[in-house]
Structure 1
Amino acid sequence: MKPFLAPLITLVLCLSCSTGILSQSKAIDSLKKVLANKTFDNKKSISSTLRTLGVAYFEIGEFTQALSYYEKALKISKETNDEASTSRCLMNIGNVHLSNGNYPVAIDYLNQSLKISERINDTLMISFSLNNLGLIYRNLENFEKAISFSEKALEIQKNIGNKKGMAETLNSLGLLYIKIKDYEKAKKTLKEALTISQNINSEYIEGFTLNNIGYVYLNLKDYDKSLEYYIKAKKINLDINGKRALTVSYYGLAKALTHKKEFNKALPIALKSLQFSQELNMLGFEKDIQELLSIIYQNTGNYKEALTSYKQYRTLNDSLFNKKNTEKIAQLEAEYKYQQALDSASIRELKLTEQVSATSRDLAKSKQNYLWAIIGVLLISIILGSTIFFQKFKTIKAKNYTIATEQKLLRSQMTPHFIFNSLSVLQGMILNKEEKKSVSYLSKFSKLMRITLENSRDKLVLLSQELLAIENYLSLQNLENDAYQSKITVDDSIDSDKYLVPPMLMQPFVENAVEHAFNNEQSIKTIDIHLNYSNKNLICTITDNGIGINAQKGIKNANKTSLSTAITSERLKILSKDLKVNGWVTIEDRHKYNAQGTLVTLVIPYKLVET
């Protein structure tokens, strides 16, 4: 059986005083009544009540409601110049974005909170901000830096005697030790957190901690001990109605039972975990549950459901992979560079201001016109410096945008599904002893891979080379069963060896036609590619006789098509500026022309070969 890892749920420090979700629900009702009756003497009390409501919603996983109340509380705190309350509200808002995986925004809010807390010497808030920044670095897999933040936070919590903060921070450290596979240290740290949470009667923290200890024993392959802790966690999380933690409890129980080969017991528990993860929109968690379900169904002989779950797992895995990794790092780097630039500009501006003041005092007895001339020169310097700074920032931002777009392009050039399917077809030919056919297929596949990799290294390639890659791709698709009738035509006015074009512009749309344009019942499937040159524009049209783009929009996998279109559109904007040649793409349903299928019109930026 394939090994698999359990996902970890982050316990974010949120400055709450609750002992359970049921009590939180009662608190929400009571606080709403208080707000409705307007029984307040001042705005500070209103802000505190709004923030407490936000904390209550946060702990039951209602992040949208929590964010709404935090922002209202922040507005009042700023109006009343209450820095302590402002710091707490900023941290709470950062925690919501952290839980939603929006790390650049979370870092911004947490750093704002930390700056205020350090200014007013609020040690409790400093420790909370440090811990939550550590959580972000853990999610970015910078474990050394994350442990450093959490250890500093824990030291502050111990010094001020905050038991709840200690339990939460110990949980964070325990998860980090799991990440670096120091399971004994993780077990010791989490059991310390469990003892503290039980002493202070915090069922919310206790439920999370029991889940995490169960996960440690899963990694140690002590499945009976793991079941013992997950069962305890499930009972507590059911009592307090903590759905996020309960989702983890059900998943851990199902996984431990699967390892013990008790598949019939594991199945209903895994389905409960799947239900909760879908209700809470926990996509990463849902992906792992679908993988677990495919294993359970396979071992219970339900191969149809096993295949369905595996397909769902692959779909979720591809979706999360394409949307997150590359852009997240690029965004963080841009945020970091931008903040550094702002800090540097602020320091320079402060020094210039001090110079202006010193000059004014030294020249108080000299001529007034001379004084104003000096001040004018300094002001012009500030304006020029600011202009240069913002131009540099704009350039950095454009470069990061270009890098992110090119990285997304490389990931979308040839889908994992196509490579997997091609290798599966080749394997089938070999097993069926179709030597000649398999050799031909392997030759075409290797040629396509070589062309794709070579084209990926260059910014511009010959049009003839790009068309050769598309011909090989369509040939591979047809080699097994002649599924498609395809044709590539180039007008006589175009010499394909004289035009340099960006690589992999046409291929995503051809691949989309192959993957999404036709239904299984359609007998004749045609894909026509035509290139012509008109009004100094190199125009490529890709036409199919499939179901049409309007029908595709109702299909679940249509988001992959739109992702390819979005990436290509972004590339075209950048390439058009670089090459100073028109470039755009339009996609139309041929129904408007009284025909069947989809019409893609691609105006390709180009450069002529220098002779």
Structure 2
Amino acid sequence: MDKNLPAKALSYSNDGDMYFSNGEYTKALSSFEQALDIYKTNLPPNHPYIATSYNNIGLVNDNMGEHAKALLSFERALEIYKLALPPNHPELATAYNNIGGAYRNMGEIAKALSYYEQALEIGKITLPPNHPDMATSYNNIAAVYYNMNDFSKALSSYERAVDIYKVALPPNHPDLASAYNNIGFVYTKTGKYSEALPYYERSLKIRKIALPPNHPNMATSYNNIAALYEKMGEHAKALSYYEKAEEIEENDEEIE
């Protein structure tokens, strides 16, 4: 194998990570696919790097709404991880979580919960209790309970995720922002608007620090706060936040 190829593939993967973090999903997909092509040509077919590339491609497709494509990539990653890694390796838990996410996005809630629970069980065996991946599992299980309208269980699992993220991550990490946003969403759904607002505001505060100003998640935060103010009858505040969200969405359309 050309000695320069692994470094080139890693460079493509790093570029993909950067584009993905910035919400530039088309560029991220291109970078991850170029990394995968190099790995498939130069590594054994069951090498973990190939699985990781499939996993990355799946994540991009999932975020682009291509959930069936994402599921195929996640399943290929899982097949390779099962052959290449010990049975309770954390990467297997990641693969189970990702497959669960694709199923949830496709509306197959029972399958999603099954994969999320498999991921959580591996995490309990292999990871410290405050590892970020444990928070991810609780967050994912909470999302399924939310889809099942079991808001009490959803809130409990989201709160466990936040407790872990607060210990395991920097205070302005995007995952913590997402966790706060999710708790706000549950409170909104159950009509507890005054309890929802502080969580949405904490989420937005972190995102302003951690994300580019035109990141799609910024628009999500503004839309959530706007919808909440609308439910509370504060229409002027709602309009202000809707306009901020619309500005981001228009800029995103212009970029594409």
Q: Normalising to structure 2: TM-score of the pair? A: 0.84
Partner of residue 126, structure 2: 200
Q: Which structure has the larger Rg over C-alpha atoms?
A: 1
Measured in 1, the distance between the counterparts of 2:33 and 2:189 equals 43
Measured in 1, the distance between the counterparts of 2:230 and 2:59 equals 36
Instruction: Extract unaligned runs of 5+ from structure 1.
Output: 1-77, 329-611
Measured in 2, the distance between the counterparts of 1:244 and 1:205 equals 14
Measured in 2, the distance between the counterparts of 1:140 and 1:294 equals 24
| Number of aligned residues | 245
Partner of residue 259, structure 1: 189
- Return closer, same or farther for 1:105/1:254 CA change in 2, 3 Å cut-off: closer
- Return closer, same or farther for 1:307/1:209 CA change in 2, 3 Å cut-off: farther
Partner of residue 241, structure 2: 312
User: Contact 1:211/1:248 (CA < 8 Å) preserved in 2?
Assistant: no
- Paired residue for 1:139, among 49, 58, 63? 63
Partner of residue 171, structure 1: 97
- Pairwise CA distance, 1:318: 4.6
Counterparts in 2 of 1:542-581, with a 5 A limit? none
**Aligned residues: CA RMSD:** 2.4
Measured in 2, the distance between the counterparts of 1:104 and 1:310 equals 31
- Pairwise CA distance, 1:128: 0.8
Partner of residue 218, structure 2: 286
Measured in 2, the distance between the counterparts of 1:141 and 1:268 equals 29
> Secondary structure at the residue paired with 1:101?
coil
User: Contact 2:104/2:144 (CA < 8 Å) preserved in 1?
Assistant: yes
Query: 1:313 is aligned with what amino acid?
Result: Y
Query: 2:97 is aligned with what amino acid?
Result: N
Partner of residue 238, structure 1: 166
- Paired residue for 1:113, among 11, 20, 35? 35
> Secondary structure at the residue paired with 1:113?
helix
- Pairwise CA distance, 1:152: 0.6
Counterparts in 2 of 1:342-381, with a 5 A limit? none
Measured in 2, the distance between the counterparts of 1:255 and 1:200 equals 31
Measured in 2, the distance between the counterparts of 1:111 and 1:289 equals 30
Measured in 2, the distance between the counterparts of 1:102 and 1:206 equals 27
Partner of residue 142, structure 2: 214
- Return closer, same or farther for 1:105/1:184 CA change in 2, 3 Å cut-off: same
Pair 1:124-2:54 in alignment: no
Q: Normalising to structure 1: TM-score of the pair? A: 0.38
Query: 1:285 is aligned with what amino acid?
Result: N
Greater helix proportion: 2
Query: 2:166 is aligned with what amino acid?
Result: L
Measured in 2, the distance between the counterparts of 1:132 and 1:173 equals 12
- Pairwise CA distance, 1:216: 1.7
Partner of residue 19, structure 2: 97
- Return closer, same or farther for 1:313/1:199 CA change in 2, 3 Å cut-off: farther
> Secondary structure at the residue paired with 2:239?
helix
- Paired residue for 1:158, among 64, 82, 90? 82
- Pairwise CA distance, 1:197: 2.4
- Paired residue for 1:269, among 178, 199, 205? 199
Higher relative contact order structure (alpha carbons within 8 Å, sequence separation ≥ 6) = 2
Partner of residue 557, structure 1: none
> Secondary structure at the residue paired with 1:141?
coil
**For each residue in 1:85-108, what CA deviation from the matched residue of structure 2 results, as whole angstroms up to 9, or x when unmatched?**
443343222222122232343233
Measured in 1, the distance between the counterparts of 2:218 and 2:236 equals 16
**For each residue in 1:156-215, what CA deviation from the matched residue of structure 2 results, as whole angstroms up to 9, or x when unmatched?**
011112522212222222221121111111111112112222322161222222222212
Query: 1:134 is aligned with what amino acid?
Result: G
* Greater Cα shift, 174-183 or 205-214: 205-214
Measured in 2, the distance between the counterparts of 1:214 and 1:260 equals 15
**For each residue in 1:73-127, what CA deviation from the matched residue of structure 2 results, as whole angstroms up to 9, or x when unmatched?**
xxxxx9xx35444433432222221222323432333233222222332511111
Measured in 2, the distance between the counterparts of 1:104 and 1:273 equals 26
- Pairwise CA distance, 1:228: 0.6
User: Contact 1:258/1:266 (CA < 8 Å) preserved in 2?
Assistant: yes
User: Contact 1:187/1:213 (CA < 8 Å) preserved in 2?
Assistant: yes
Give identity over the alignment, percent.
23
Measured in 2, the distance between the counterparts of 1:316 and 1:294 equals 9
- Pairwise CA distance, 1:273: 1.2
Measured in 2, the distance between the counterparts of 1:103 and 1:268 equals 30
Measured in 2, the distance between the counterparts of 1:267 and 1:118 equals 48
- Return closer, same or farther for 1:166/1:317 CA change in 2, 3 Å cut-off: farther
Measured in 2, the distance between the counterparts of 1:326 and 1:268 equals 32
- Pairwise CA distance, 1:295: 4.0
Instruction: Extract unaligned runs of 5+ from structure 2.
Output: none
**For each residue in 1:352-371, what CA deviation from the matched residue of structure 2 results, as whole angstroms up to 9, or x when unmatched?**
xxxxxxxxxxxxxxxxxxxx
